[in-house]
Amino acid sequence: MSKFRKSNAKDTPAVSTASLPDIVFMLLFFFMVTTTMREVTLKVRTTLPTATELSKLEKKSLVSYIYVGPPQKQYTKMFGTEPRIQLNDVFAKVSDIPDFILAERAARDEAEIPFMVTSLKVDEFTKMQIVGEIKQELRKAAALHINYSSRKPLQNK
Amino acid sequence: MADIAFMLLIFFLVATTMDVDSGLERVLPQMPPENQEQDDTPPIKERNVFSVLLDANNRLMVEGELIRVEDLREKAKEFMTNPRNLETLPETKPTEIPFIGNFEVTKGVISLRNDFGTQYGMYISVQNELVAAVNELRDEMASSTFGKTYANCNSEQREAIRMAIPSRISEAEPKMVGGKK
């Protein structure tokens, strides 16, 4: 018995770090594949409402986003606390939406235009007035396909 | 080596987001042409309209009754199918549909109107219930005729089911009634 114990008790060899790069690279590739780049800095807070009948937005490149919600803390001095619209990186008015849609269309291929979707990321507690106005503008701009962005409820019933 | 990889890893952790975008998909109605003065569409009969009203205090009124959001799905399903052929529920029109045969397609239209003061979250939950009602009916139809869920049907079968159970949700332009912006 003592023959075995002796060699063990003296010094445990250090954990080999030769495979560390492999592990880290694996993690890196995992995150590169599963995540998407942040495209805009959010200036408004949007807590999305919950819904169960969700459909995924399939082609990310064909989606244009409209954010609506109360401005983040650092902007409240300038813009107040009432819900505002954000297009790209700036605060906007409802009347800016047709121009935004036209710009989004111009950036895409002509063949892809019919498949474009507008995703509305609206804060749960926003009043419907602003949403109604946005929808009216979208109708005028003939961007009829929309998606009310929402998240899954945490527990299933 | 590991240091470089760690740096890249941290960069990607910071610069990217993980959320998958999903949501309720809807198609807005076309804007009517401006020169159109009187609309020549025939008026829809009272029994064919399922009126859903949302007020500024997030109360829900369906067909003249105050109800809870949880009960809306059942009501909408009853309206869309009219299982007992009631006088008050919508008429049906027999239509020849491939795969399914002669089917009584409902003429019902769901009309949704909200107030300027309605909360967006409430509006979404109502929309969600209405979409869920249609989806459930389609699923039931798919399992009874094709023996599989609607999502697993091929495009022709889906087309047939869509013909049998149309999703007609119309939204009226919101009115300012509740006061208080």
Mean pLDDT of all residues belonging to chain A? 84
- Domain assignment present for B9: no
- Taking residue B48's Cβ as centre, other Cβ atoms within 10 Å add up to 16
Q: Do B24 and A139 touch (CB under 8 A)?
A: no
pLDDT at B181 (0 to 100) = 41
Residue B37 placed within a domain = no
For residue B94, tell me if it sits in a domain. yes
- At residue A123 the predicted structure's pLDDT band, cuts being 50, 70 and 90, is very high
Chain B residues inside the 8 Å CB shell of A152: 22
**Residues for chain B: how many in total?**
181
pLDDT at B101: 79
> Considering the domain boundaries, does residue B89 fall inside one?
yes
User: Percentage of residues in chain A with pLDDT exceeding 90?
Assistant: 13
Q: Is the predicted pLDDT of residue B69 greater than 80, yes or no? A: yes
The yes-or-no verdict on residue B110 having pLDDT over 50 is: yes
What's the pTM value of the predicted model, to 2 decimals? 0.79
Residue of A nearest to B135 (CA): A53
Residues in chain A: 157
Query: What percent of chain A clears pLDDT 70, i.e. is strictly above it?
Result: 91
| Of A36, A125, A151, Cβ closest to residue B17 | A36
Average pLDDT estimate for B43-68: 86
CATH number for A112: 3.30.420.270
- Residue A157 has a pLDDT of 45
Q: Cβ B21–A63 below 8 Å, yes or no?
A: yes
Q: Does A42 map to a domain?
A: no
Q: Which chain B residues are Cβ-neighbours of A21 within 8 angstroms?
A: 1-2, 5
Question: How many CB atoms sit inside 10 A of residue A103's CB?
Answer: 13
pLDDT tens per residue, range A35-67 = 777 777 888 888 888 888 888 887 777 888 899
Of A56, A119, A146, the CB nearest to B28: A146
pLDDT in the model for residue A7: 55
Q: Is the ipTM of this complex over 0.90?
A: no
Nearest CA in chain A to B27: A145
- The Cα B70–Cα B129 span in angstroms is 8
Is the CB of B34 inside 8 Å of chain A's CB atoms? no
Pairing of strands A117-122, A36-37: unpaired
**Residue A94 located in a structural domain:** yes
- The domain tally of chain A equals 1
* Best A29, A31, A56, A133 residue to mutate vs chain B (most B CBs within 10 Å): A31
Q: How far is C-alpha A88 from the geometric centre of its chain's CA atoms? A: 13
Q: Is residue A70 part of a domain?
A: yes
Give the domain extent around A132.
60-148
In a domain, B49, yes or no: yes
Helix, strand, coil in percent for chain A, rounding step 5:
40, 20, 35
Q: Which two tokens stand for residue A3?
A: 């023959």
Its domain, for residue B80, covers: 43-171
Residues of B in contact with A35 (CB under 8 A): 12, 16-18
In a domain, B87, yes or no: yes
Q: How many domains does chain B have?
A: 1
Residue B58 covered by a domain? yes
Could you tell me if residue A51 is inside a domain? no
A-B contacts at Cβ under 8 angstroms = 150
In chain B, whose CA is at the least distance from the CA of A139? Answer: B31
Out of A48-52, A125-129, B42-46, B139-143, least confident range: B42-46
